[in-house]
């Protein structure tokens, strides 16, 4: 006979590791956020201040609100552009069909996703260099006004570059997701619409897209989570600059903790960000569970 | 409404030839059934009329218009799919209205026509439901309503009844026949079910291996099959086929001897007799003798399987027939309803040449 407690013993190691790597930092982080703790001055936890850090952040911190705005802009544009581009690529792949060429093209298209976002930031930095960067040269050739302009020195252009690099990185992933979802659509509904007299655009817009809704919802939630926590490319591509033009929340958390050594305050910002992502993650899991 | 003409049509997928040289002309308002086993090319033929596939060569015309590579939406045809192809995110009403909506027909006009089409197939009370809330038969009706909501040049139906249970299939069959008669729209109907073909069609095109084997009315196909394939495919239980040889006007095989004035030249042949054209009689007075192998009561008749020589022959005897397994019996075919086929080509030889036989 099988010991009925066996199942708990089997998952116990995983639970313990999860508790150590996830639960402990969550609890400890929240505890830190209730204290003043400058690690440049003191090695142990400083004085307890209650919710003061949160009050200060929400009522009297223009840096935080600036960063919220930056993160919001980045998230909206990167989510929308990534998903639209991914859908366009997926449709294109499906239209071309399944010959040998498509398989190779697909492999090429997936390459950007295989890159580490930190390295991606560094290589994009070179590509955007006004003197020898390929993207910079290409842009200059198409739009003469951008010729020789240091893109990363301009607040708007730097944000655009950050979004572009993120879109470049994530589009392949969502393209694959959409290719699978499109291929799984019942072919008869598409053919029925064609015979009923719908144009290609209408077939896509009125027949395919509504049937993709569950997948689209999941994609939007996932990409929003990824965008909200963007850090690597910010560090390596723009370092939040120029000024605070690309200072995303995750980068602000990182700066506050490891440049200004204000651990308590940084933990509080991180907690506010985590709260938003927690809601999205909850929606996401609920959606995935519903589909399962 | 329009006629449909396929001339010299072939369809290849890569190296695979789905259809080789198909000629078919369907009259205005005719109900034509494409009948054949899976892989015979019947669905490909229909999809080319719909514009969902383009022919590799040949000509397809709807009315006088050449439509070879015309997109489906420009063809003015309506199609009912095997799995119905309903739009799962739309209500029944929106499903039926979709062909009108994409044609830019106004909301009020649309609602009236949807209502009329839905009433015709008794869907009136279900208009607000989603397809997933409907039974198989109801979904089938939605697909039909979506097809009849406008008056297309041609109806195309791809095995529309194959997902329904046997009882519902009989009901829907009658409804489709009635609707087509009422609307008078040219209809092409694909099926592998010979009963559907026989009951629905004005004419049947029996297909196999990418070719039309025979084209004719259900009676022609049944009474004078053009070749062995058609003879074996149509009828249930199928036609008995006995290999043997003709000599001096008499067909002979072990325990079989059948004489017919129309049996012509001597040579090898295959004798075909349908079970219902055989009378079970005393062994002394019959050309075919054997012993009873099995008896099956179907309700309205007894199917008697008789072992004769090397063949098994099935005869349909009356319900009152009371033989037992092992009994010696004789079988007497109706001389007016026997068939003879060439052993090599499989083609029908005398008696009775068939008009419209396969183009071999």
- State the smallest CA–CA distance between residue A190 and chain B in angstroms: 8
CATH topology of domain A67-291: MetI-like fold (1.10.3720)
Q: B325 pLDDT exceeds 50?
A: yes
| DSSP conformation class of B354 | P
Chain A contacts of B79, Cβ < 8 Å? Answer: 191-192, 195
Q: Are strands B154-158 and B186-191 parallel, antiparallel or unpaired?
A: parallel
Alpha-carbon distances, residue A73 vs A65, A103, A121, A247, B255 (angstroms): 12, 35, 19, 11, 92
Q: Are strands B31-35 and B203-208 parallel, antiparallel or unpaired?
A: parallel
| Boundaries of every domain in chain B | 4-223, 239-349
Whether A216 contacts chain B with CB within 8 A: no
Best to test chain B binding among A196, A213, A214 (most B CBs inside 10 Å): A196
Whether B99 contacts chain A with CB within 8 A: yes
pLDDT computed for residue A139 by the predictor: 83
- Least trusted range by pLDDT, from A70-84, A101-115, A190-204, B298-312: A101-115
CATH topology of domain B239-349: OB fold (Dihydrolipoamide Acetyltransferase, E2P) (2.40.50)
| Chain segment B221-260, per-residue pLDDT in tens | 999 999 999 999 998 889 999 998 888 888 888 888 888 8
Whether B82 contacts chain A with CB within 8 A: yes
Inter-residue long-range contacts of B332-337, CB under 8 Å, 24+ positions, other chains counted: B332/B278, B332/B279, B332/B281, B332/B285, B332/B286, B332/B287, B332/B288, B333/B258, B333/B273, B333/B277, B333/B278, B333/B279, B333/B287, B333/B288, B334/B277, B334/B278, B334/B279, B335/B260, B337/B223, B337/B273, B337/B274, B337/B277
- State the smallest CA–CA distance between residue B98 and chain A in angstroms: 7
Best to test chain A binding among B14, B89, B148 (most A CBs inside 10 Å): B89
Q: B288 pLDDT exceeds 70?
A: yes
Alpha-carbon distances, residue B286 vs B158, B251, B259, B282, B351 (angstroms): 46, 14, 11, 7, 21
Q: Are residues B142 and B134 in contact, defined by beta-carbon separation less than 8 angstroms?
A: yes
Tell me, rounded to whole angstroms, the distance of Cα A120 from its chain centroid.
Answer: 14
- Where residue B358 falls among pLDDT bands split at 50, 70, 90? very low
Residue range B259-288: mean pLDDT, rounded:
85
- State the smallest CA–CA distance between residue A192 and chain B in angstroms: 6
- Where residue B60 falls among pLDDT bands split at 50, 70, 90? very high
Q: Which residue of A has its CA nearest to B86?
A: A189
Which residues make beta-bridge pairs with B154? B77, B186
Q: B122 pLDDT exceeds 90?
A: no
Residue range B333-351: mean pLDDT, rounded:
85
Whether B291 contacts chain A with CB within 8 A: no
Does residue B237 have a cis bond before it (omega within 30 degrees)?
yes
Nearby residues of A264 by Cβ (< 8 Å), 6 or more positions away: A32, A33, A34, A35, A36, A37, A46, A49, A53
Whether A102 contacts chain B with CB within 8 A: no
| Measured distance CA(B201)–CA(B180) in Å, rounded | 11
| Measured distance CA(B353)–CA(B85) in Å, rounded | 43
| Measured distance CA(A262)–CA(A37) in Å, rounded | 6
Q: B352 pLDDT exceeds 60?
A: no
Best to test chain A binding among B83, B85, B101, B114 (most A CBs inside 10 Å): B85
pLDDT computed for residue A98 by the predictor: 67
- State the smallest CA–CA distance between residue A151 and chain B in angstroms: 46
- Where residue A166 falls among pLDDT bands split at 50, 70, 90? very high
Residue with tokens 């009403």: B93
Does residue B351 have a cis bond before it (omega within 30 degrees)?
yes
| Measured distance CA(B314)–CA(B291) in Å, rounded | 12
Please name the member of A194, A206, A211 whose beta carbon is closest to the beta carbon of B52: A194
Q: A148 pLDDT exceeds 80?
A: no
CA atoms within 13 A on the CB side of A12: 6
Q: Are residues B143 and B65 in contact, defined by beta-carbon separation less than 8 angstroms?
A: no
Best to test chain B binding among A197, A198, A203 (most B CBs inside 10 Å): A197
Please name the member of A195, A207, A210 whose beta carbon is closest to the beta carbon of B72: A195
Instruction: Give the closest residue to B155 by CA, choosing from A286, A195, A271, A24.
Output: A195
Q: A82 pLDDT exceeds 80?
A: yes
Nearby residues of B207 by Cβ (< 8 Å), 6 or more positions away: B34, B35, B36, B40, B41, B42, B45, B213
Six-digit token pair at B292?
């009873």
Instruction: Give the closest residue to B205 by CA, choosing from B352, B349, B341, B49.
Output: B49
CATH topology of domain B4-223: Rossmann fold (3.40.50)
Nearby residues of A186 by Cβ (< 8 Å), 6 or more positions away: A211, B83, B85, B88
| Chain segment A201-252, per-residue pLDDT in tens | 999 999 999 999 889 998 999 999 999 988 898 989 888 878 888 889 888 8
Six-digit token pair at A181?
């979802």
Six-digit token pair at B323?
């033989």
| Boundaries of every domain in chain A | 67-291
- Asked if B156's CB is within 8 angstroms of A195's CB, the reply is yes
Six-digit token pair at B249?
């006007």
- Least trusted range by pLDDT, from A39-48, A86-95, A269-278, B154-163: A39-48
Euclidean distance between the first and the last CA atom of chain A, given in angstroms as a whole number: 32
Residue range B35-50: mean pLDDT, rounded:
91
| DSSP conformation class of A99 | S
Q: Are residues B176 and B157 in contact, defined by beta-carbon separation less than 8 angstroms?
A: yes
Q: B110 pLDDT exceeds 70?
A: yes
- Where residue B360 falls among pLDDT bands split at 50, 70, 90? very low
Residue range B196-217: mean pLDDT, rounded:
93
pLDDT computed for residue B123 by the predictor: 85
Alpha-carbon distances, residue B265 vs A195, B226, B243, B346 (angstroms): 53, 18, 16, 16
pLDDT computed for residue B357 by the predictor: 39
Q: Are residues B49 and B9 in contact, defined by beta-carbon separation less than 8 angstroms?
A: no
Q: A127-166: buried (b, 16+ CB within 10 Å) or exposed (e) per residue?
A: bbbbeebebbeebbeeeeebeeeebbeebebbbebbbbbb
């Amino acid at each position: 006979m099988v010991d009925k407690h066996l199942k708990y013993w089997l998952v116990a190691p995983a639970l313990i590791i999860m508790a150590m790597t996830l639960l402990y930092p969550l609890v400890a982080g929240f505890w830190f956020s209730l204290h003043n703790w400058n690690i440049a001055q003191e090695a142990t936890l400083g004085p307890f201040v209650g919710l003061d850090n949160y009050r200060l952040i929400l009522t009297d911190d223009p840096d935080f609100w600036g960063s919220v705005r930056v993160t919001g802009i980045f998230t909206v544009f990167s989510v929308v552009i990534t998903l639209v581009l991914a859908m366009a690529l997926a449709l294109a792949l499906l239209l071309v069909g399944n010959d040998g060429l498509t398989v190779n093209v697909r492999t090429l298209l997936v390459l950007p996703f295989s890159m580490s976002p930190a390295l991606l930031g560094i290589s994009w930095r070179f590509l955007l260099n006004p003197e020898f960067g390929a993207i910079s040269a290409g842009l200059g050739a198409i739009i003469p006004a951008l010729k020789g302009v240091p893109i990363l020195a301009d607040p708007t252009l730097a944000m655009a570059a950050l979004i572009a690099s993120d879109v470049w990185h994530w589009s392949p992933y969502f393209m694959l997701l959409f290719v699978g979802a499109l291929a799984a659509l019942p072919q008869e509904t598409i053919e029925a619409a064609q015979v009923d007299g719908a144009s290609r655009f209408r077939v896509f817009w009125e027949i395919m897209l509504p049937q993709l809704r569950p997948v689209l919802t999941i994609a939007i939630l996932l990409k929003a989570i990824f965008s909200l926590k963007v850090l690597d490319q910010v560090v390596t591509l723009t370092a939040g600059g120029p000024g605070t033009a690309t200072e995303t929340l995750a980068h602000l958390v990182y700066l506050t903790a490891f440049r200004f050594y204000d651990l308590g305050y940084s933990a509080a910002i991180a907690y506010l960000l985590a709260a938003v992502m927690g809601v999205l993650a909850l929606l996401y899991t609920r959606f995935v569970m519903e589909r399962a | 409404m329009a006629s449909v003409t396929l001339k010299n049509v072939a369809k290849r997928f890569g190296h695979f030839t789905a259809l080789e040289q198909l000629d078919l002309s369907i009259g205005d308002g005719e109900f034509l059934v494409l009948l054949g086993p899976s892989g015979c090319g019947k669905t490909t033929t229909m999809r080319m009329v719909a514009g969902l596939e383009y022919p590799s060569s040949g000509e397809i015309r709807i009315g006088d218009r050449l439509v070879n590579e015309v997109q489906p939406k420009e063809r003015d045809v309506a199609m009912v799919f095997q799995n119905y192809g309903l739009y799962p995110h739309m209500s029944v009403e929106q499903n039926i209205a979709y062909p009108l909506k994409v044609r830019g027909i106004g909301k009020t006009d649309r609602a009236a026509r949807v209502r009329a089409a839905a009433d015709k197939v008794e869907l009136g009370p279900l208009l607000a439901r989603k397809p997933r809330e409907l039974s198989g038969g109801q979904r089938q009706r939605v697909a039909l309503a979506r097809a009849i909501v406008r008056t297309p040049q041609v109806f195309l139906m791809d095995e529309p009844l194959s997902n329904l249970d046997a009882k519902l299939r009989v009901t829907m069959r009658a409804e489709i026949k009635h609707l087509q008669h009422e609307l008078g729209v040219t209809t092409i109907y694909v099926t592998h079910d010979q009963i559907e073909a026989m009951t629905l069609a004005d004419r049947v095109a029996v297909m196999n291996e990418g070719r039309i084997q025979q084209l004719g009315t259900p009676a022609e196909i049944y009474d004078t099959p053009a070749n062995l394939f058609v003879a074996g495919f149509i009828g249930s239980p199928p036609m008995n086929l006995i290999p043997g040889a003709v000599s001096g006007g008499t067909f002979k095989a072990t325990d079989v001897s059948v004489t017919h004035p129309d049996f012509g030249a001597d040579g090898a042949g295959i004798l075909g007799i349908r079970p219902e054209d055989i009378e079970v009689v005393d062994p002394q007075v019959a050309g075919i003798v054997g012993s009873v192998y099995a008896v099956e009561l179907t309700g309205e008749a007894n199917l008697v399987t008789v072992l004769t020589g090397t063949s098994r022959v099935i005869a349909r005897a009356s319900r009152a027939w009371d033989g037992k397994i092992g009994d010696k019996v004789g079988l007497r075919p109706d001389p007016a309803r026997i068939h003879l086929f060439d052993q090599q080509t499989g083609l029908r030889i005398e008696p009775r040449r068939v008009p419209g036989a396969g183009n071999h």
